[in-house]
Chains A and B, each alone.
Chain A
Amino acid sequence: MSKLLSTLLPGLIISAIFGSRLSAQEGPSYGDLLAGFSDPERWLTYSGDYSGKRHSPLKQITPENVSQLRPIWTFQTGTTTRGRGFEATPLADDGVLYVTGSNNNAWAIDAHTGRTFWRYRRNLPNDLTYGASAPVNRGFGMLGDRLFMVTLDAHLLAFDRRNGDILWEVELEDYRIGYAATLAPLVLDDKVIVGISGGEYRTRGFIDAYDPESGERLWRFNTIPGPGEPGSETWPDDPEVLAAGGGGTWMNGSFDPDLNLIYWGVGNPNPDYYGEARPGDNLYSNSLLALDADSGELRWHYQFTPHDLNDWDSNHMPVLAEVDWQGRLRQVVMVGNRNGFFYVLDRVTGELLLGKPFTATTWARELDVAGRPIVLNDGSQGCVPDPWGSTNFMPPTFVPEHDLFILTARETCATYVPEKPIDAPGQSNFGGTVLIDAEQGSGALRALDIHSGDLVWEFTYPSPTFGGVMSTAAGLVFAGDHEGNFMAFDSDNGDNLWHYQTGARIWGAAAMTFMLGNRQLVLIPSGTTLMAFALPE
């Protein structure tokens, strides 16, 4: 061995070992995020891909063998949100799971064993307003070796995913006024897109884009217009009303890279139940927005619930698909809305293609020719869906093999009694009371034909349920219910094929799945735990 070689060799060996390890640890690129489900060992975004379908191509677990599904490990978070759920979707890459939980805890977990690599817990102030919500979080966004998480004190954090270190943090808005953040950030090539909670406070909602490298804010779209801006004509001519108009954006959106548009839902106007101080449609509350991803400019909007009086935020995952619509291939966006209607829109133009009730809601039964609901009962006459809605943010799924939109439906009965609120910064005000008939209420997993909105099949639950839904190309639908069951169904006919009692209600969360080596794992958060299931080896 020459002297030169003997000098260099240890370094070369070290470089070969660590260099390759480090490169193996490199996280997903924007190209990987765009590719969505193409790598079966990854689940890289909240819905698995940008479309929001939550429809995995994996086929190891089938309707024939799903009855053998069994738990392989349980991860105990040690934290909870009483009255709500463990609402996050874990991200999976290189055998590691990245997941956030209640009270701004977060973990990197060994997907083989459920053991932790690292844990993070934010030191939160003790005067949180929670944005009138609860101390929940719905997950990380990921790009390269960075993870992104929003916080209850309305910050956006960037993590080093290898050790949980914080690389930067920025304040979105002042939490003391009533702002908070709970969603899973939507990460594009050079932007981290986030929204905000707080529509029950004197807040003004927004959607923000931040630079993943520096945390610099790149653009902001305000969901409540300023004086003189488009949409302000749907509000009183009063800057103070506009500045406190609500319109939270607390559920993340979907993305169409070809159109370069993001689709994002907007929540209720403030105050929730008392509309006398805000006559008009109150744009862009309770709307779906299509925003240019580069500039944040509004391309089109559709308002599901004009002048909302029932807290029916439209903070749902917009589901994007390409479908044969009456003989013509169309790019559509679908929404199962808290107001009880299922909608299909052309996502290029915003044209409404279908709007039809999927629950027994008495609020409205049809839309007029302009696409506005014909309101029969604003809630003051009793028995319309409660403020939690006919469905909520729990993810639905789209099964392209059958053109089925499958969602959790809630049948409830509530009477709304509006009252003028006392407004104060940092104090939530719903503007009245809701009297919920606790004796009436049930839930169902419903599969809708997207072309007609008709019910194709359903599976009923004893109580109004908050669990989300995932489907796979093998013909399976996974769902959770309020009684704690994690279940598998045949997507073709709704037959229940398997269930497992997790011991706590599944609330706000939906399943995810990925290949760990040659084994398909299905994960569901429940109570304080994250549970992993697989077929026997």
Chain B
Amino acid sequence: MKIYRSSGSGSLNLCASGYPGALLSLAVLLFVVAPPLFGQSVNPFEGDARAIRGGAGLFRAQCATCHGADAKGIVSIEAPDLTQIWKRQKLSAGAVFGSIRNGIPGSIMPSHSLTDTEVWMLVAYLQSVAETGVIGLPVGDRGAGREAFVENCSECHRAHGVGESLGPNLTGITLQRSLESLVASVRDPDAFVGRGYKVVRLINSKGREITGLIKSEDAFSIQLQDDTGRLRSVIKADLQTVERLSGSLMPEFASRKLIDQELFDIFNFLQSGA
């Protein structure tokens, strides 16, 4: 059993930027920035610490109920993970501005009659929490990383054409996740188990035990990927027992088993191939 994980915690402490602070930032910015700001594709506040703080306050008041306090979305209402939109959809700042201002027609996402400055502050905040991956990957040997990956990870993970498919494909994962969350995923995989990777142990009507990952579930069935990687349909009425495990199928890789330098070698391989 090797490494896999769906996503890091990446949570943002919004309490550090409460609403009164946001209002203050807004007041300051309104004096500093000259309109018009709509109709452009570059955010004039990108990276501006005060704008990000103000945007965080606005986000909390206007957006967090649906998109979550950490902006990572709520699946049950199809509110997307806003930390991922920039990469997956290749959105421009102007397009995000338009979605906030006008809403998304045909969806639950409403329009917002915020000022241009406020919308750009929100965009700045979203840019600040975008999953941009490792900035300044520690030096490593990609060739050694490939070998370490094959030895430790490839039984479950695939990267650059090598390995299996029980866990997520890790090709380029370093471009999406921070170094801190990547290391945490390896050192303490039970701390967070993402949707699609929750573990269940079943005993079917013939008394056979099956352990696997819940890919989907309804009141009558489970769509399972068993620990051999096979996709299986399981009808709940046919089961003797259903035991839901809190941890991950992925084993813990303590530093004595995989030292930091080996990890960095693997990360370099994941980013660029061998």
Contacts and interface: CB of A to CB of B under 8 A. Distances in A.
B108 A81 contact: yes
B219 A499 contact: yes
A129 interface: yes
Nearest to B114: A427
Contact of B107 (A134, A438, A485): A134
A366 interface: no
B30 to A, nearest CB: 13
B191 interface: no
B219 A424 contact: no
A359 to B, nearest CB: 17
Nearest to B60: A433
A306 to B, nearest CB: 23
B218 interface: yes
Contact of B219 (A436, A438, A483): A483
Interface string A427-443: 11111111110100100
B87 interface: no
Contact of A82 (B19, B74, B106): B106
A102 B19 contact: no
Contacts of B114: 427
A459 B236 CA distance: 14
A82 B218 contact: no
Given A83-B77, A438-B74, A482-B76, A433 B61 contact: yes
Tell which of B14, B75, B220 has the most Cβ of chain A within 10 Å. B220
Given A82-B104, A126-B105, A135-B106, A433 B113 contact: no
A113 interface: no
Contacts of A424: 113
A516 to B, nearest CB: 29
Nearest to B66: A83
Contacts of A102: 106
Q: How large is the interface on B (under 10, 10 to 19, 20 to 34, 35 or more residues)?
A: 20 to 34
Nearest to B79: A83
Nearest to B221: A501
Interface in B82-103: 102-103
Q: How large is the interface on A (under 10, 10 to 19, 20 to 34, 35 or more residues)?
A: 35 or more
Contacts of B102: 126
Contacts, number: 99
A130 interface: yes
A461 B60 CA distance: 30
Interface string B99-140: 000111111111111100000000000000000000000000
B6 interface: no
Contacts of B75: 438
A79 B107 CA distance: 11
Interface string B34-64: 0000000000000000000000000011101
Interface in A125-143: 126-130, 132-135
Given A83-B79, A427-B113, A436 B60 contact: no
Tell which of A387, A432, A436 has the most Cβ of chain B within 10 Å. A436
Given A421-B61, A433-B61, A441 B220 contact: no
Contact of A459 (B103, B104, B105, B219): B219
Contact of B108 (A82, A436, A496): A82
B78 A83 contact: yes
B125 to A, nearest CB: 14
A102 B106 CA distance: 8
A419 B218 contact: no
Contacts of B76: 438, 441, 463-464, 482
A64 to B, nearest CB: 19
B219 A460 contact: yes
Contact of A462 (B104, B108, B110, B218): B218
Interface in A43-82: 79-82
A459 B218 CA distance: 12
Contacts of B217: 462, 483
Contacts of B14: 433
B69 A435 contact: yes
B110 to A, nearest CB: 6
Contacts of A121: none
A438 B68 contact: yes
B108 A485 contact: no
A430 B107 CA distance: 19
Interface in A454-470: 459-464
A172 to B, nearest CB: 19
A427 B219 contact: no
B109 to A, nearest CB: 7
Contact of A129 (B108, B109, B111, B220): B111
Interface of B: 14, 18-19, 60-62, 64-65, 68-69, 74-79, 102-114, 217-220
15 contacts: A83-B79, A102-B106, A126-B105, A129-B110, A135-B105, A427-B112, A429-B61, A430-B61, A430-B62, A433-B61, A433-B65, A436-B74, A438-B68, A460-B219, A485-B218
Given A428-B110, A433-B69, 16 more contacts: A79-B106, A81-B107, A82-B107, A82-B108, A83-B79, A83-B108, A103-B106, A128-B111, A387-B65, A417-B60, A433-B14, A433-B64, A436-B65, A441-B76, A460-B219, A463-B76
